Amino acid sequence: MPSNAPAANPFETAKQQIDIVADLIGISSGVREVLKHPKRELTVNFPVRMDDGSYQVYTGYRVQYNMARGPSKGGIRYHPGVTLDEVRALAAWMTWKCAVVNIPYGGAKGGVIVDPKKLSVGELERLTRRYATEIAPIIGPEMDIPAPDVYTDSQTMAWIMDTYSMLKGYSVPGVVTGKPISIGGSEGRGEATGRGCAYVIREAAKDAGVKIKGGTVAVQGFGNAGSIAAKILYDEQGAKICAASDTKGGIWNADGFNPHAVEAHKHKTGSVVGFPGAKSISNEDILETKVDVLIPAALENVLTAKNANKVQAKIVAEAANGPTLPEADKVFFEKKITVLPDILANAGGVTVSYFEWAQNIQGYFWTLREVNDRLERTMVESYQAVHKVAVERKVHNRTAAYVVGVSRVVDAIRIRGLYP
């Protein structure tokens, strides 16, 4: 994420997006208010014993936004910039995302204010287990199911699953998703976000008249989602990956490069920077390069009113959560740039998380091919539903995705009614 990214409040952005859809489809003021408030928020302050014997107190959050369609679902991120409003926004986006791909979940999100790069593995484990203990009263397979997010991974989920299981007295694999396969994880979960994004790009390119085979791609944020989307576009669709970046900088080669080789270079050196045969490019400039497909896969608020007019891509596929501000959306719509919004483009992760949870509940596991086939079907059907609304209502894809997702949540709220 660029160091000079605007300090926009992500939850205000999320509420603006709700208002846009509410005005468009005529949601009543009462239901609109429900949609703009999280159902439940938990803030926890907890001590962690450091390796030197000292104690450090950390602050963490878990927000359950809406549970009208089922138990809430959402990742946990470890980042020094975590705020409650950020977690609220991410939980709201998870609510609409689950509804867009029509899986029976509400939305949630969690976070701890910490720089995990400064902690040892032992310190991370103790932090994770203590945080899991603090939020344990409100999570569970039928209530709220965490998953990995920024700077958390399958090992983090294993620690949470084990901690929760110890509290219950028996193994509860369904309490989290994104676990290692050896303790109930699903085949295909690790690459699901990037793979789902690649499927949606493929479908959108057909409607936008963009050729992916031989087409150019830039990826801002060559992490899990961004690198996998790039590799699948390269391997399976013949795309030319011309630019990639991470927190330390970016690389550019007009002739393209092998994303597998870039990944190996990053694994060896810690960054994509310095990849042989590539020129240096900043995280800001990578957003403005002339390519067919731009994949913002870092953090939120990177596409703004300041740089939207400089974006030259034909398709912007949001592998990250909330990278585009509402004013940038307007510019892209006027320029006829196809935006594949986060709640559609990166929903592959939560889709396969749902598959993992379903497998845990039934104690029966699917093959990788079965997982990927189901993921492809879900992503294609979801894109088609969103595109249909966009064409019929003459709106951009983000508004269309919100119409699809919010309408499904509103239907559930209305049908269930208010208790008592």
Which residue of the set 15, 109, 231, 314 is catalytic?
A: 109
Tokens of 128: 């994770």
Compute the C-alpha angle 99/383/73, nearest 5°: 25
- Amino acid identity, position 58: Y
Contacts of 146 (CB under 8 A, 6+ apart): 62, 74, 75, 76, 108, 110, 139, 157, 160, 175, 176, 177
Contacts of 268 (CB under 8 A, 6+ apart): none
Q: Residue 109 catalytic?
A: yes
Catalytic residues: 109
